[in-house]
Amino acid sequence: YKEITTIGKGAFGKVYLAKNLKTDKKFAIKELLFEHLEGRQLKLFCREVQILAKCHNLFLLPFRGFTLNFPYSIVTEYITNGSLYEALRHRPKAPSLSPTHKTIIALGIANGMCHLHELNIIHRDLKSLNILLDENYYPKICDFGIARFKAESNQPVTQQIGTPHWMAPELFLKNNYDSKVDVYAYAIILWEMITEKIPFMGLNPMQIMTAVCQNH
C-alpha cells in the first residue's frame, strides 16, 4: 500500500487513504498509535475486528483486513462521498441530497442496523458522522470502535458512551440498556435529514443530558 492522504486524526491514532500498488484500488486504513496493545485497548481492537468481520450487508462498511503487529491497523473500503453529516450541512464537495436520496439512505440505515441487531451487536455511536455515502449515495454505516455484542442479563454495560447529541436517555442514566439505544439514534438521524439542522445545537453535553433525561 501507498499512503495518499490523512482522512482523520484522533486520540486513538489516524485514518488515512491508501492505494494498493498492484490494483490501484483505494482503501481506508485506521492505524492505532499504540506500540503495544494490551488490556482494554487490545479488547476494543479485537472486538472491532470481530464485529467488522461479521458485517456482510450492503449498508455496512466493507471490511478488508487487519494487522497483528505494530502499527496495528484495520483496513476497510474507501467510501467516496464523505459523511451524511457533511452532506446535510452542504459542505464543499459533499453531494446534494434529493428527497429520494434521503429516503433511500433512511431505508439503507434501517436495513444495516437490523442486520447488526440480528447479530446481537449494539452500535452505541450511530450518528450522521458515522454514515458514509458511496458513489450511488447509498449509506455505509461505519465506526464500530465502541460497538459491542449484546450483554448477557448479568453483565454490566458502560454508561455515558457515545456522542451526546444522539444518545438515548438510558445511555446517560442506566447500565441495563439494549439495542433500542440505536433506534433512538436512528430517530435523531431522521430528524436531521428532515430539518438539515444539528441536533441540540449550541448545548453542551450536560445541557443535552438535562434536555433529554429531565425535560423529555
Active site residue ranges: 125
Question: Any idea of the CA torsion for 18, 73, 54, 108, to the nearest 10 degrees?
Answer: -40
Residue 28's beta-bridge partner residues? Answer: 17, 76
Cis bond before residue 71 (omega within 30° of 0): yes
**What is the C-alpha to C-alpha distance for residues 17 and 186, in angstroms, rounded to an integer?**
28
Alpha-carbon Rg for the chain in angstroms: 17
**What is the C-alpha to C-alpha distance for residues 107 and 129, in angstroms, rounded to an integer?**
17
Unique residue bearing C-alpha cell 442486520: 115
Three-class SS state of 154: coil
**How many CA atoms, within 13 angstroms, populate the side-chain half-sphere of residue 42?**
8
Show the DSSP H helices in 18-137 as ranges: 39-54, 84-88, 99-118
**What is the C-alpha to C-alpha distance for residues 71 and 69, in angstroms, rounded to an integer?**
6
**What is the C-alpha to C-alpha distance for residues 127 and 142, in angstroms, rounded to an integer?**
10
